[in-house]
C-alpha cells in the first residue's frame, strides 16, 4: 500500500497514466469548501512552486472538491473518497472536514520534498499514480495533549504541532494551561495569575529524585491574541483546541498569585515536580474565582468542551478546614474525597450555563462525576471502563500506552525522562475500546488521546522527538479500522512518512534509535529553563 498515514480503509491502485500537476494547477470548489481549497493551494504554492488558480464548484479542474459523499448511518464525520485518474483528482467528502482529510491524503501522494514550507524552486514533477482511496475515521475524539505549564512552549511550536496533528487527521488539541509550576493563560480579573503565577525562580534539574535545581528563572504566558491565533489556525485545520484549567489540585501557581485561594501562608510557584499538598480551599470566594476564570478562558476557546483537570488532589488541607467541614455536614458526606465531587459539581453546573461540557481526569469519578461530564482515563483503563458503565462519555488516555513523556526505550541513549517506557509498537497496538467494556456502553468511548507532560521537556525539539513517530502510530489507533492493521505493515509504510516529517523540519526519533548526539543536547543544563518572554 502507498504510504498514507494513518492507514486508510482502502487504497486501490488503478490502471492508466499518472496524474501530473503541471506548473499551473486549478482547484475547483463550492463556496463552503473555499477554506480547504485555499489551504491546499497554498501548500502547492509554497511546497512545490505551483501557480494555483481557483474555480467555482462543478467546473472541470485539476483538483475538484465537493461534499455530499453518502456515508453509513452513525459513522463518525470526516469520510472522504479520493480518486486520481484520467488526468484529474477528485475529492468528495461527507463534510468540509472529510474533504480536508482527503486533501491530507492527497498531500501524502506527492513527493516528500513538497512538504517543505520554504518557497523553493519549482519541483520538477508532481505525478500521482492512479489511485482510489475510501476512508473515514473510526473515532470522533482523536486528541493530542501538550503541557505548557511545566515548560512554556512558544506559540510557533503550538502552530507547528497543530499542523502536524492535522497531517495525521487528529482533531483535538488539548492545552494543559495551568499547573503548580506555571499559569499560562491571562485572566483580566486576576492579573497576578500571569504577573506572578507565570514565573518560577528555577526548575528541577536532572531527575526529580536527584533534588538538584538549575538556578535559572523560567516562565511565559500567551496573550489573548496568541491564543486566538492558535484557535483560528487550528479551526482552519479542523482541529478544536481544548483548554485545561487544572483545579482544585495542581494549583500552586494560582495560590502563589492569590494566597487567599489556599489554606493560608505564602507559597511560591513550584520549582520542583510532583504532587503538592497545597490545593484550592473550598470557600465560596474561591469557587467564585474558579467560575470567573472559566468565564474568561471559555471566551477564548469556542469549543464545546472545557477541561477542569481534577487529577491528583490531596485532601490533607481540607481535613483542617472549617468551610470543608460545613460542606461535609450540609451534604452528609463521610469521606473527604466527596468534597472534590461537590466542587466538580459546582463547576459542571457553571459550565452548563455557558453551554459547555466538563471534561476531567478520571479522579472526578471518585466523588461521583456530574452527569454529562466526560472522563479522561489516564490511570490505566479502569477509570474509563467504570465511567462508560456509569453512562459517561470517555476519552481513553492511559499512561501505559499513551504517555509520550515516558521514554521510547529503557536504553541509556534516550534523553532523561520521567519514568516508564512506551515503545512505538505499544502505542501502535493500543485499542481504545477495551473488551472489558460491555457492548451496550461502547458508544461512550469517544476516542483516545496521547499526552505530553513536560517536566523533563524544555524545548520544541525534545517535544518533537517524544511525539514522533509515536504520534503517527497513535493516529492509526484512533483513525484506522482495527482490522487489517499490523505493526509490521505500519513500519514498512513509516520510512516514506518520516521523509515527510524530515521535510517539515520535525526532530523525530529514527526507528533505530536516536542519532549520535540527538539526545545529548537535551541533557545540557543550558538547555533547561529560561525560555519564554
Ligand atoms: C500525572 S496525568 C499527572 C501529571 C504529570 C504526569 C507525568 C495527570 C492527570 N496528572 O501532572 O505531569 O503524571 O507523567
**CA 340 to CA 363: how far, in whole Å?**
9
Which three cell numbers mark 35?
477554506
Cell readout for 108 is: 501524502
The pLDDT tens digits for 372-397 are: 999 999 999 999 999 999 999 999 99
What pTM, to 2 d.p., does this model score? 0.97
Answer whether 273 contacts ligand 1 (Cβ < 6 A).
no
Does the structure show a pLDDT above 60 at 74?
A: yes
Q: How confident is the model at residue 296 (pLDDT cuts 50, 70, 90)?
A: very high
Ligand 1 pocket member 404 (CB < 6 A)? no
Angle 337-353/322-331 helices, nearest 10 degrees? Answer: 80
Q: Which residues, other chains included, contact 258 with Cβ-Cβ below 8 Å and sequence gap of 6+?
A: 190, 192, 193, 289
The answer to whether the beta carbons of residues 169 and 137 sit under 8 Å apart is yes
Q: What band does 272 get if pLDDT is binned at 50, 70 and 90?
A: very high
Question: What average pLDDT is seen over the chain?
Answer: 95
| Residue 521, pLDDT above cutoff 80 | no
How far apart CA 532 and CA 385 sit, in angstroms, is: 40
pLDDT in tens, 147-205: 999 999 999 999 999 999 999 999 999 999 999 999 999 999 999 999 999 999 999 99
pLDDT digit string, tens, across residues 439-495: 999 999 999 999 999 999 999 999 999 999 999 999 999 999 999 899 999 999 999
Segment among 62-66, 414-418, 440-444, 514-518 with least mean pLDDT:
514-518
**Does residue 532 register a pLDDT over 80?**
no
With a cut of 90, say whether residue 516 has pLDDT above it.
Answer: no
From 378, 380, 422, give the residue whose CB has the most ligand 1 atoms within 8 Å, as the site to mutate. Answer: 378
pLDDT at res. 120: 60
Confidence of residue 529 (pLDDT cuts 50, 70, 90): very low
How many angstroms separate the alpha carbon of residue 453 from the centre of ligand 1?
Answer: 7
Domains of the chain: 10-135 (3.30.379.10), 141-527 (3.20.20.80)
Residue 241 has pLDDT above 90, yes or no: yes
* Cβ 71 vs Cβ 79: under 8 Å: yes
Contact call for residues 106 and 31 (beta carbons, < 8 A)? no
Query: Which are the catalytic amino acids?
Result: 179, 250, 312
**C-beta neighbour count of 490 within 10 angstroms:** 23
Cβ–ligand 1 contact at 378 (below 6 Å): yes
Q: Which residues contact 401 (CB under 8 A, 6 or more apart)?
A: 422, 426, 427, 429, 430
Residue-wise pLDDT tens digits, 97-141: 999 999 999 999 999 988 887 656 667 789 999 999 999 999 999
Give dist(CA 62, CA 28) in Å, integer: 8
Cα–Cα distance, 498 to 521 (Å, whole number): 21
Amino acid at each position: 500500500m502507498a504510504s498514507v498515514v494513518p492507514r486508510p480503509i482502502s487504497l486501490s491502485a488503478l490502471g492508466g497514466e499518472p496524474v501530473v500537476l503541471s506548473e499551473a494547477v486549478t482547484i475547483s470548489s463550492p463556496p463552503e469548501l473555499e477554506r480547504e481549497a485555499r489551504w491546499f493551494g497554498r501548500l502547492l504554492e509554497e511546497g512545490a512552486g505551483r501557480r494555483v488558480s481557483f474555480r467555482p464548484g462543478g467546473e472541470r479542474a485539476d483538483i475538484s472538491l465537493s461534499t455530499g459523499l453518502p456515508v453509513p448511518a452513525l459513522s463518525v464525520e470526516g469520510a472522504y473518497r479520493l480518486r486520481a485518474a484520467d488526468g484529474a483528482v477528485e475529492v468528495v467528502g461527507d463534510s468540509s472536514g472529510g474533504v480536508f482529510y482527503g486533501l491530507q491524503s492527497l498531500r501524502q501522494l506527492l513527493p516528500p520534498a513538497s512538504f517543505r514550507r520554504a518557497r523553493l524552486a519549482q519541483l520538477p514533477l508532481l505525478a500521482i499514480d492512479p489511485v482510489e482511496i475510501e476512508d473515514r475515521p473510526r473515532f470522533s475524539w482523536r486528541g493530542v495533549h501538550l503541557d505548557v505549564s511545566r515548560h512554556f512552549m512558544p506559540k510557533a511550536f503550538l502552530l507547528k504541532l497543530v499542523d502536524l496533528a492535522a497531517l495525521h487527521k487528529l482533531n483535538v488539541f488539548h492545552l494543559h494551561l495551568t499547573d503548580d509550576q506555571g499559569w499560562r493563560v491571562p485572566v483580566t480579573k486576576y492579573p497576578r495569575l500571569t504577573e506572578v503565577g507565570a514565573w518560577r525562580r528555577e526548575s528541577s534539574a536532572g531527575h526529580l529524585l536527584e533534588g538538584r535545581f538549575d538556578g535559572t528563572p523560567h516562565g511565559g504566558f500567551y496573550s489573548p491574541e496568541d491564543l486566538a491565533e492558535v484557535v483560528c489556525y487550528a479551526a482552519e485545520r479542523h482541529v478544536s483546541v481544548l483548554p485545561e484549567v487544572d483545579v482544585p489540585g495542581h494549583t500552586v501557581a494560582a495560590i502563589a498569585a492569590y494566597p487567599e485561594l489556599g489554606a493560608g501562608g505564602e507559597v511560591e510557584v513550584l520549582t520542583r515536580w510532583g504532587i503538592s499538598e497545597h490545593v484550592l480551599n473550598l470557600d465560596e470566594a474561591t469557587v467564585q474565582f474558579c467560575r470567573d476564570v472559566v468565564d474568561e478562558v471559555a471566551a477564548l476557546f469556542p469549543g464545546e468542551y472545557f477541561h477542569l483537570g481534577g487529577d491528583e488532589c490531596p485532601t490533607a488541607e481540607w481535613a483542617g478546614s472549617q468551610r470543608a467541614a460545613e460542606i461535609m455536614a450540609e451534604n452528609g458526606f463521610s469521606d473527604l474525597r466527596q468534597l472534590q465531587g461537590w466542587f466538580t459539581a459546582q463547576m459542571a453546573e457553571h459550565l452548563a450555563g455557558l453551554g459547555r461540557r466538563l471534561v476531567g481526569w478520571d479522579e472526578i469519578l471518585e466523588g461521583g462525576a456530574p452527569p454529562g461530564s466526560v472522563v479522561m482515563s489516564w490511570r490505566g483503563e479502569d477509570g474509563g471502563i467504570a465511567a462508560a458503565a456509569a453512562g459517561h462519555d470517555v476519552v481513553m488516555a492511559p499512561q501505559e500506552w499513551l504517555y509520550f513523556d515516558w521514554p521510547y526505550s529503557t536504553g541509556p541513549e534516550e534523553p532523561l525522562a520521567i519514568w516508564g517506557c512506551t515503545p512505538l509498537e505499544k502505542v501502535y497496538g493500543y485499542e481504545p475500546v477495551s473488551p472489558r467494556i460491555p457492548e451496550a456502553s461502547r458508544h461512550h468511548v469517544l476516542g483516545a488521546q496521547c499526552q505530553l507532560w513536560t517536566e523533563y521537556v524544555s524545548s520544541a525539539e525534545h517535544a518533537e522527538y517524544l511525539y514522533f513517530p509515536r504520534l503517527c502510530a497513535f493516529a492509526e489507533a484512533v483513525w484506522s479500522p482495527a482490522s487489517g492493521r499490523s505493526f509490521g505493515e505500519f513500519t514498512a509504510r513509516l520510512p516514506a512518512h518520516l521523509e515527510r516529517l524530515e521535510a517539515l523540519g520535525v526532530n523525530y526519533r529514527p526507528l533505530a534509535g536516536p542519532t549520535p548526539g540527538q539526545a545529548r543536547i537535551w541533557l545540557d543544563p543550558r538547555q533547561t529553563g529560561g525560555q519564554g518572554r
